[in-house]
Chains A and B, each alone.
Chain A
């Protein structure tokens, strides 16, 4: 059993009671809601005649269904319009602040809560969305929940849940040029597999993690869930505090100093014990690209699609399925695979530094003929900051479309989607069959810089060779 870790400390502070069934009632410090997983929860609340327990601890936005070309209301898709107006009604009725379109604060829920300063170290954060693990970057315990649990949190600001084990993912050395947090997490998942994290929280630690910016830490924790770990976190440090300082919802004046003192005390103790520990060498990681239909099917850009015999027997059936679905041959180099669509955005890689990295590749170059490439900022704030730096112009000049913020083609609940068996280079987080809106659409996951490089070349390319 783990002890003295950040996870243990935060867990203990939030325990309300032991429940008869053996689960723990855990207080939720920050509840994030959006239009897709909340309407049924509000309806269930009404059915039970219950109010929202802590509307002031509930933060709402709209992200999944918003169009990225024109966000004029009513939306042209009546169902999308109904989902947003349902959220607006529910928020108004229950006194919940909705960070809506045009508020200057709207965006993907996992982008806005950190940038507005809602997400802070030591909190428990829940949201009806599996990528809630993102918020662990601040040293919070953050995890995704289903709609019945959204109802429970609305009703009681708490959840019936069981404690996880803690695995430390220790990453030595440093990432090299052209290799990003996205590559690191794809490498971790590729190495450990997509279910290794089931039952665990992942603590990311070590020299390579300590130097990552907050945005990179968010990318890392965001995809912990793709490795099966419902939550991932990084211990809070000066980089965390510097990021939070001055944010809209962050503590101010003398409260700030007390907050920093408390936050600092939460980091895992030097003598903390973990249930498990695994080491990685950051310097050995190359830009990583997925070739298959699970995020664990990744390889270095300089590698070949694995042949079945190289794989663990348990992984072969899904590899066979992936060869067929992706129309990629075992043994084929991934570099050079032609792409049709290039998507930069999502809660994994839709923040300012992601756009900067992609723009650095795009600047002075042009998207290859016949390729559709588009950039969807993660939030209105990200869009504003990027425009201020002229990144929108850099992208436009390079032949990328510049869109309005939202989830967009990460899961294609809005009009942005693949057609037929198109293949995309995507900075998002899931390459499941049909994920990007076409039942036969194909997805190659990679970092934003690698997506930009693919857009320029029209095929998967090693961004390190573009300088």
Chain B
């Protein structure tokens, strides 16, 4: 699949696009991107390999393969999504497939951090709300949904649901500071001060 929408950049106020439902708790990063695809020195080819084994097993019936879902950009999942390995290849694969936001009950921490570093919001709602939203999204795969990071809602014009985001991530996404490198490098004076006070860096 070729990349159609640009990768996230700068402040993110909302993500709009078609929704895609992926049901199941504890979907681990080995499933999102099996280990054999980690054998690479660049992330480029990962989009096609997202959920490779699950897709093979379902022989064309996996949501990532169904024609109607091509171009969808908001993934609606259940509980503890992205558990397991720390591989950033997992969100990279999702992003390169076309995903720009995830909505679910909860996420594994490292996965959530990795998404944030790519500018992909991981929004949450209660299990009941998620189930209802998954049904709503599944009813009409062509509907356009908006995950609004200002109003904290997920809606398609007729259905609307309140969502949450960890406050730190929310600010970083809204202000465009989710790409942390610049901020971290900028505080080198403070960093040097911290280092000077650490016993193990100074002969104890």
Contact = CB atoms under 8 A, between A and B. Distances in A.
B83 A25 contact: no
Contacts of A132: 86
B182 to A, nearest CB: 8
A122 B113 contact: no
Contacts of A22: 167-168, 171-172
B171 A194 contact: no
B203 interface: yes
Contacts of A130: 84-86, 110
Given A152-B181, A432-B31, A262 B204 contact: yes
B157 interface: no
Interface string B86-97: 111101100000
B171 A145 contact: no
Given A147-B88, A411-B35, A434-B34, A262 B171 contact: no
B183 interface: yes
A198 interface: yes
Contacts of A348: none
B25 interface: yes
Contacts of A199: 109
A434 B31 contact: yes
Given A13-B197, A160-B184, A194-B26, A145 B110 contact: yes
Contacts of A21: 168-169, 171-172, 175, 177-178
Contacts of B190: 16-17, 25
Given A146-B114, A433-B30, A19 B183 contact: yes
B60 to A, nearest CB: 16
B80 interface: yes
B203 A255 contact: yes
Given A20-B171, A412-B35, A228 B87 contact: no
A434 B31 CA distance: 8
A162 B168 contact: yes
Interface in B134-178: 166-169, 171-172, 175, 177-178
A413 B39 contact: yes
Interface in B30-58: 30-31, 34-36, 38-43, 53, 56-57
B41 A16 contact: no
Interface string A128-139: 111010000000
Given A16-B194, A21-B177, A318-B25, A433 B31 contact: yes
Given A83-B39, A258-B203, A430-B30, A198 B106 contact: yes
B64 to A, nearest CB: 16
Interface in B105-141: 106, 108-110, 113-114, 117-118
B201 interface: yes
A79 B39 CA distance: 6
B74 to A, nearest CB: 21
B194 A14 contact: yes
Given A25-B190, A37-B86, 11 more contacts: A39-B40, A50-B185, A146-B86, A156-B191, A228-B83, A261-B204, A430-B28, A433-B30, A433-B53, A434-B34, A437-B36
14 contacts: A50-B181, A53-B191, A77-B39, A128-B88, A148-B88, A148-B117, A155-B185, A195-B26, A198-B80, A230-B109, A261-B204, A314-B25, A317-B24, A413-B39
Interface of B: 24-26, 28, 30-31, 34-36, 38-43, 53, 56-57, 79-80, 83-89, 91-92, 106, 108-110, 113-114, 117-118, 166-169, 171-172, 175, 177-178, 180-181, 183-185, 187-188, 190-191, 193-195, 197-201, 203-204
4 tightest Cβ-Cβ pairs between the two chains A and B? A148-B117, A146-B114, A146-B88, A21-B172
